[in-house]
Amino acid sequence: TTKPITPLTTMTTITTITPITPTTNLTTLSNIFGLEGDVDLQFLLVGGKLMKIKSSSWKKDRMYKLHDDNATIWHESHRIFKRKQTFSIDDVDSVRKGRQSEGLQKHTEAHVEDRCFSIFFKGRRRNLDLVATSVEEARQWVNGLEKIISNMKKLNRQQTSEHWIFNCMRKADKNKDNMMTLKELKHFLRQINIEVDETYAKLLFTKCDTSNSGTLEGSEIKHFYDLLTHREEIDVIYEKHAATGGQMSAQDLLNFLLNEQREVATLEDALRLIEKYELDDSAKHMNHMTKDGFLMYLQQEEGSIFNPAHKKVFQDMSQPINHYFISSSHNTYLMEDQLKGPSSTEAYIKALMKSCRCVELDCWDGAHGEPVIYHGHTLTSKVLFKDVIKAIKEYAFKTSEYPVILSLENHCTLEQQKLMAKHMISILGSALLTSPLEDQMPTAFPSPQELKGRFIIKGKRLNKLDAVFSNTSPGVEDDCVSEEDEAAETNNSKTDTNEQKKSKIKLAKQLSDLVIYCKSVHFSGFEHAKDNQAFYEMSSFKESKAVNLAETAVYYIHFIMHLSRIYPAGSRTTSSNYNPVPLWNAGCQIVALNFQTPSKEMDLNQGRFRSNGLSGYILKPEFQRYAGSEFNPMTLTKGPWIKHKAFHIMVISAQQLPKLNKDKPKSIVDPLVKVEIYGVPADTCSKETRSIENNGFNPMWNETFQFDIQVPELAMLRFLVEDYDATSQNDLIGHYCLPLTSLQNGYRHVPLLTKRGDVIPSAGLFVHLMLLDAK
């Protein structure tokens, strides 16, 4: 049986969004988003006909409307077994007005532009292309959906939890009579991931059915909700620290902040938290915090594991760009595998919106004289080069304002190279960097700050950069290998060398002239690079070569003046990824991964770049930034990199973990938590809790682990919540990763993400952390 945890009791919140109050009606959510009476919302609730576009020949009118839960879109379907279909607003990534999708651009005419819009989903679900009957209706659909999505994102943790529980209650109310029978209550408990025996379910039901009517309604449902969400662990923590008449005074709260949360805080900070989060006016008047206010505080960003100060750009952005790790994508155009998957501008949009700052363009001659992007010599689909540049221009700086590197892998003939240059110049305009920022030959890279909002081209160049400041010309268009072939040159096999010779191409001056700070050159060894390579000349390494160098030499540290790029091996036909951590440890700035593939490696990448305002640039530790550093991640000699820490973690509980098998109502998860450290080899470690049987709603572990950390500046912490299975591999429930330097000590809530990196709205872990100097 499952024991309920402790109630949230008060249902009001400190934000302007009206809270859910499951007191009298299980079918109305009209006020949760603060949109009561909103004209666009009312329009969506009525709904209307939209033309769904799948191809030039498949264009069908379908009815769409917002369900009365304000969180689900219903649409008719003419499939035999799926006459009525729904999708959750939670699953929507974005709504884009106009013909912004590839489907609408291809299958509709320009004159319907103002009536078109597309709904893009999280994950791999195909986007929905729609045409409204009028410009005004298109506007109302887009505005209404955007309002709901925006306000859903503003929900605090408590509201999100209430929203989720309330929706599950509504679904369990099969006959829509706003009451819950015992049978419906048991169905509801299974929906929220709790398996209870018959006796306990009856006991809980009887306790709440004070009217003895055989159903729960109104205040009885509120009572049931309170019992269900009761959190004993919060009771214990609060009672330990509430030393003033059973409540927390401002001084009690300050003591908690100083001693338990290890924050640099003052009495004014404690008073500010009381003013912000206390729900009881009489307690607030006495400068006290009740248990409800305390829980509210713990569920806000101040109580999050992630340091709120790191949600903004907080690092020095005025250093040369080679002093930063740069979030980077490989074969950015691919949505799936490397052999036959689709190429799409959408793949670039997704990567850029995840703050990727280096994207790859694999360029080939296309039909009708227009260059295309695809994975050469494979069955992957093609996308026009100019369409990719348009998408990059539109979305490059929506998440981060810092520079984007366009890494060209050029296989085009001279004429189409000239067209590539023309497209980039005309589409990117003044944002395209076409000359050094300085008035004279630079000797070092500019900074991300100086390059804000700019595009940097990475590729081959016919001459040295100082030619920009002289009248010298490269003369004729010269022979040049593509980057792919240059990478092959780093391998000493005879076959690779022969392939390289076959694939030499000529380079157009117009394209060459656009390469300023990122000139691709063949790597001939570190000594050669040290003596002959200009600071702006950079090399790319296949992962196997890079990992081998990282394990056998402290190579990037001595290569500090140069940018270097790592990319996945060609044998990764499924677009799988390699572990980026050893390459970051070695100091490599551009570690390119397949962004389209959910994996542990992509979790680590998103974790690495989660801080510093999602800028896509992370300043490397000082010991990785100066020439002559003796730091070696493999052998860890004494030096400024050693900052020995004892890291204590208690995994206390989890809340509202999602069901994994929604098709099987009686399927309940058996969660366990893995705690992983990634960093230098000496710090890399993993530990896990026991599994909790049949409880995904409020499992409790109270298990403590300790880790010994040598180089905290390179370490990352990853939580992995899995559904235990004795006979097969555990299934992923959720994960979260962040740099050790960005976590907050003390009692903290940890958000959980899906396999594809989207926030699971209602779920989380509750932990206690202490990162202390080792004795």
Q: What is the pLDDT of residues 234-266, one digit of tens each?
A: 999 999 999 998 999 999 999 999 999 999 999
Tally Cβ neighbours within 10 Å of residue 112: 17
Confidence at 500, pLDDT banded by 50, 70, 90: very low
Do 654 and 723 sit in the same domain of this protein? yes
713: how many CB neighbours lie within 10 A of its CB? 18
Average confidence score pLDDT of the chain = 87
d(CA 446, CA 395): 23
Locus of tokens 């296949």: 542
**Using an 8 Å Cβ cutoff, are 165 and 32 in contact?**
no
Residue 26 has which token pair? 């299980």
Phi first, then psi, for residue 338 (nearest 5°) are: -90, -5
Boundary of a domain, candidates 303, 337, 352 = 303
Question: Where a domain ends, among 228, 255, 288?
Answer: 228
Q: What's the pLDDT at 472?
A: 65
Q: Are 263 and 257 in contact (CB under 8 A)?
A: yes
Verify that 281 and 340 share a domain, yes or no. no
Annotated binding site for Ca(2+): 331, 360, 362, 409, 668, 670, 694, 723-725
Confidence of residue 176 (pLDDT cuts 50, 70, 90): confident
List the structure tokens of 70: 């304000």
Per-residue pLDDT tens digits for 72-92: 899 887 766 655 588 888 889
Same domain, 550 and 649: no
pLDDT in tens, 288-329: 999 999 999 999 999 999 999 999 999 999 999 999 999 999
CA atoms within 13 A on the CB side of 22: 30
What is the secondary structure of 175-193 as a DSSP string? T-SS-B-HHHHHHHHHHTT
3-state secondary structure of 704: strand
Whether 425 and 526 share a structural domain: yes
Question: Among 101-110, 156-165, 403-412, whose mean pLDDT is lowest?
Answer: 156-165
Cβ-contact 365, 371 below 8 angstroms: yes
d(CA 390, CA 426): 10
Distance CA 170, CA 179 (A): 9
Tokens of 360: 């790859």
Type of residue found at 438:
E
Residue 600 inside a domain? The answer is yes
Q: How many helices (H) and strands (E) does the chain have?
A: 22, 30
| Domain assignment present for 426 | yes
Cα–Cα distance between 463 and 461 in angstroms, integer? 6
Kindly tell me if the per-residue pLDDT of 494 is higher than 90.
Answer: no
3-state SS, 668-725, equals: CCCEEEEEEEECCCCCCEEEECCCCCCECCCCEEEEEEEEEECCHHHCEEEEEEEECC
Query: Residue 445 corresponds to which amino acid?
Result: F
> pLDDT tens digits for 747-772?
999 999 999 999 998 899 999 999 99
Report the 10 Å Cβ neighbour count for 332.
27
Q: What is the dihedral of CA 232, 234, 235, 238, to 10 degrees?
A: 170
Q: Beta-strand (E) ranges in 710-754?
A: 716-723, 731-739, 746-753
> In the predicted model, is pLDDT for residue 38 greater than 90?
no
- Confidence class for position 34, pLDDT limits 50, 70, 90: low
Q: Tell me the pLDDT tens digit for each residue of 557-588.
A: 556 678 999 999 988 989 999 999 999 999 99
On whether residue 14 sits in a domain, the answer given is no
The yes-or-no verdict on residue 442 having pLDDT over 60 is yes
Other beta carbons within 10 angstroms of residue 205's beta carbon come to: 21
Binding-site residues sit at: 331, 360, 362, 409, 458, 460, 540, 565, 668, 670, 694, 723-725
Q: Minimum mean pLDDT among 36-50, 52-66, 587-601: which range?
A: 36-50
Closest C-alpha to 420, from 352, 330, 513, 344: 513
The percent of residues above 90 in pLDDT, for the chain, comes to: 64
Nearest to 431 by CA among 465, 386, 459, 392: 392
Q: What CATH number corresponds to the domain at position 236?
A: 1.10.238.10
Q: Does residue 637 belong to any structural domain of this protein? A: no
Contact 448, 402 (CB under 8 A): yes
Nearest to 684 by CA among 662, 659, 709, 653: 709
Q: Which residues are annotated as a binding site for substrate?
A: 458, 460, 540, 565
In this predicted model, what pLDDT tens digit does every residue of 179-230 receive, in sequence order?
Answer: 889 888 888 888 888 877 788 788 889 999 999 999 988 888 888 888 888 8
239 and 214 in one domain? no
Last residue of one domain, picked from the residues 589, 624, 659: 624
For residues 144 and 108, membership in a common domain is answered with yes
pLDDT at residue number 485: 45
Helix (H) or strand (E) holding 486: helix 483-489
In a domain, 384, yes or no: yes
What is the token pair recorded at 525? 């060894």
Residue 763, domain CATH: 2.60.40.150
Residue 141 to residues 35, 116, 138, 151, 421, Cα–Cα distance (Å): 15, 10, 5, 16, 39
Tens-place pLDDT, residues 90-104: 889 999 999 999 899
Strands 590-593, 564-567: pairing is parallel
**Bridge partners, residue 759, by sequence:** 753
Could you tell me if residue 131 is inside a domain?
Answer: yes
3-class secondary-structure state, position 730: coil
Q: What is the b/e burial string over 589-607, where b = at least 16 CB atoms within 10 angstroms of the residue's CB?
A: bbbbbbbbbbbbbbbbbbb
Containing structural domain, residue 124:
39-154
Query: Quick one: how far is CA 319 from the chain centroid?
Result: 26
pLDDT at 37 over 80: no
Residue pLDDT, tens place only, 639-692: 999 999 999 999 999 999 988 876 666 678 999 999 999 999 999 999 999 999
The enclosing domain of 82 has a CATH number of 2.30.29.30
Q: Which residue shows structure tokens 């049949």?
A: 694
Residues with catalytic annotation? 330, 375
489 and 367 in a common domain: yes
Structure tokens at 589: 């700035």
Distance CA(697)–CA(685), nearest Å, equals: 28
Same domain flag for 193 and 250: no
Q: How many domains does the chain have?
A: 5
* 189, 147: one domain: no
Q: What is the largest CA-CA distance in the chain?
A: 95
- Asked if residue 150 and residue 186 are part of one domain, the reply reads no
Tokens representing 404? Answer: 């984007």
What CA–CA distance (Å, rounded) separates 542 from 569? 6
- Is the residue at 195 inside a domain? yes
Name beta bridge partners: 732. Answer: 722
| 715, 755: one domain | yes
Q: Determine contact, residues 358/404, Cβ cutoff 8 Å.
A: yes
d(CA 226, CA 4): 9
Residue 367 lies in a domain: yes
Q: CATH number for the domain including 598?
A: 3.20.20.190
Higher pLDDT, 341 or 667: 341
Let me know whether 545 and 423 are in one domain: yes
Residue pair 741/753 in contact (Cβ under 8 Å)? The answer is no
Q: Give the up-direction half-sphere exposure of residue 529: CA atoms within 13 A in the CB hemisphere.
A: 22
